[in-house]
Structure 1
Amino acid sequence: MKSILALFALLLSLPAAAAQLTIELDHASKTWQTADLLKHPQAQTVQIVDDVSYKRSMTYRAVPLAALLPGLKPANHLQAVALDGFAAELTAAPLLAKTGARAWLAVEDPAHPWPALAQGKPSAGPFYMVWTHPQAGHISPEQWPFQVSRIKQLQTVAERFPALLPDPKLAADDPVNLGFALFQKNCLACHRLNGAGDAQMGPDLNIPYNPTEYFGGDFLKRYIRDPQSLRHWPQAKMPAFAASVLPDNELDLLLGYLQHMAGRKQQP
């Protein structure tokens, strides 16, 4: 057992290796190598203040994500899939923006590897979606996927997973539908609901029980704001959703959607 742990520690300490990223769009598909991205004509050095994953300022060699998505339209939908099964659902519009909050693909140079995310863990590489001026677009932590291996164009979440949909009788601007949009942005990268979704990390949020059914008082809000304050364990991955990222009114809308879906359980 000790020898296995020693080997694992050695693997984590090895320099970053060159990697590849596949981008699959409906009209085109391309696999990028690390070296090609590092020398991309639009690659530049960017500084990220308050990096979501490293919790400090970081500097990366990065390519504007829009430059890697030719022909994509703002209304299109993408999914960024990470090595650990994290699957971030992303509306194309923010990714294509060239002002305000701007998305970049940070590329880890094997000759200059990034630091580990934590002791015993790998870095955020080989590819990491980062944002400059994220506050201008209310970018959530789930929109910073790291260890990305593939980006692919898909139908919208509502088209792919009807089991996530609120009651169709509700108006488009009903608070529950607004909460559904926030669920897609903030939760679906890690969680499924009614068995629907592509994520493989967190538990299903409706089967067998919805968290609104077993969190009393304001504990569910407190858990979303700071998960480690209620359930602390070293391998926890759920990020804290600060009010600057998920304002109180949006958190209430999100909880409204979850409470609504507690009455719409579907077995997968």
Structure 2
Amino acid sequence: MSVLSPCHRGHVRRLGLVRPAGLALLLWVLMPLTARAAPLALEDGANRLTVDTATLLARPDAAEISVPADIGYGGVQRRYRAVPLASVLALLPAPPPPGGVLEAAATDGFAAQVPLHLILQTTPGGPRAWLALEEPDSPWPHLPGKQASAGPFYIVWERPEAGRISPEYWPYQLAALRFVQRPAVRWPQIAADPSLPADHPARRGQDVFTSICLACHRMNGGGSADMGPDLNRPMGPTEYFQPGALRRYLRDPASVRNWPEQKMPGFAADQISETELDALLAYLSHMAARRPAGAR
């Protein structure tokens, strides 16, 4: 079947675009998005390169993998054509920064900060990160409650339970992967007071915030994500939520307030334990007291 309908062909003739180059361009524009090779940016600070689905699918280390409990698709088992994420990152000329993270930026403003040691570790039986690739001729189903799939690029994990991989370390609809410094180095304004004792719960809460909340929210302007509001400017949630309501909101947002465009998920106890939740609330309360004067 022709890509161009009769009216399209007539329009092309009237505009004089039947030259081969012009027709090829028009055919590309009219081609369904799923049939095009999708680009992915890789960055290490000094260098930036682009790979696409076609190139990655043709790699010799591309493999069929099974994900028993897919976070993005509601915990069901799914199969993917994927390449080891560490191998993809090895395409970058510069080495990863010691103690750094991989910023996985999505098209919707989500920006996960995944510790590089989790991705690059080779411990037998440990978690292993893969970059799942949506094949143009075999599109994935829509994500639960969304009108799009997780593609064209999606980080999935084998044996995530072996490393207690955060649900935010499964970013989908990726546009870019970047080597960056750990968040508290990039954005000092998200750090708890350095004079706090080492065992202060706010210090542990900062770690929880970095692994869970920073993928969608900022803190005092620090962060890359644009999905949710800043959690301390102009006010922090511990200032406008009753303690019990805030706990309930973090576990089940829709049970506290709900609207059609709500995006925030709830976090079960196997994702944020009660001890971690206590620490996160201590951090948020601590940071409210440290908000820069005049911050909005």
TM-score (norm 1): 0.89
- Which residue identity is paired with 1:64? P
Count, aligned residues: 257
**Between 97-106 and 147-156, the greater mean CA deviation after superposition:** 97-106
Residue 20 (structure 1) aligned with residue 39 (structure 2): yes
Q: 2:65 is matched with which residue?
A: 46
Residues in 1 aligned to 2:139 and 2:239: alpha-carbon distance in whole angstroms: 44
In structure 2, relative to structure 1, the CA distance for the partners of 1:84 and 1:152 (3 Å cut) is: same
Q: 2:156 is matched with which residue?
A: 130
SS in 2 for 1:176: helix
Task: Give CA deviations for 1:89-126 in whole Å, capped at 9, x if unaligned.
Answer: 12101111334221111010011000111466111111
**CA positional deviation for 1:221:** 1.4
Residue 100 of structure 2, aligned match among 62, 76, 83:
76
From the CA coordinates, give the structure whose radius of gyration is larger.
Answer: 2
**Between 83-92 and 116-125, the greater mean CA deviation after superposition:** 116-125
**CA positional deviation for 1:66:** 1.1
**CA positional deviation for 1:192:** 0.9
Q: Is the 8 Å Cα contact of residues 66 and 78 (structure 2) preserved in structure 1? A: yes
Residue 227 (structure 1) aligned with residue 253 (structure 2): yes
Residue 265 (structure 1) aligned with residue 265 (structure 2): no
Residue 243 of structure 2, aligned match among 197, 208, 217:
217
Task: Give CA deviations for 1:240-266 in whole Å, capped at 9, x if unaligned.
Answer: 211111111111111111111110112
* Runs of 4+ with >6 A deviation: none
**CA positional deviation for 1:169:** 0.9
**CA positional deviation for 1:14:** 6.2
- Which residue identity is paired with 2:89? L
How do residues 45-194 of structure 1 correspond to structure 2 at under 5 angstroms? 45-55=64-74, 56-70=76-90, 71-72=95-96, 75-98=99-122, 99-118=125-144, 121-194=147-220
In structure 2, relative to structure 1, the CA distance for the partners of 1:74 and 1:39 (3 Å cut) is: farther
TM-score (norm 2): 0.81
Residues in 1 aligned to 2:46 and 2:223: alpha-carbon distance in whole angstroms: 24
**CA positional deviation for 1:224:** 1.1
- Which residue identity is paired with 2:248? R
Residues in 2 aligned to 1:77 and 1:29: alpha-carbon distance in whole angstroms: 17
- In structure 2, runs of 5+ residues without a counterpart are 1-29
- Which residue identity is paired with 1:67? S
In structure 2, relative to structure 1, the CA distance for the partners of 1:179 and 1:120 (3 Å cut) is: closer
Residues in 2 aligned to 1:129 and 1:235: alpha-carbon distance in whole angstroms: 24
Q: Is the 8 Å Cα contact of residues 97 and 180 (structure 2) preserved in structure 1? A: no
In structure 2, relative to structure 1, the CA distance for the partners of 1:155 and 1:102 (3 Å cut) is: same
In structure 2, relative to structure 1, the CA distance for the partners of 1:17 and 1:115 (3 Å cut) is: farther
**Between 109-118 and 231-240, the greater mean CA deviation after superposition:** 231-240
In structure 2, relative to structure 1, the CA distance for the partners of 1:16 and 1:146 (3 Å cut) is: farther
- In structure 1, runs of 5+ residues without a counterpart are 1-10
**Between 46-55 and 69-78, the greater mean CA deviation after superposition:** 69-78
**Between 177-186 and 74-83, the greater mean CA deviation after superposition:** 74-83
RMSD after superposition: 2.0
In structure 2, relative to structure 1, the CA distance for the partners of 1:265 and 1:115 (3 Å cut) is: same
Identity %: 49
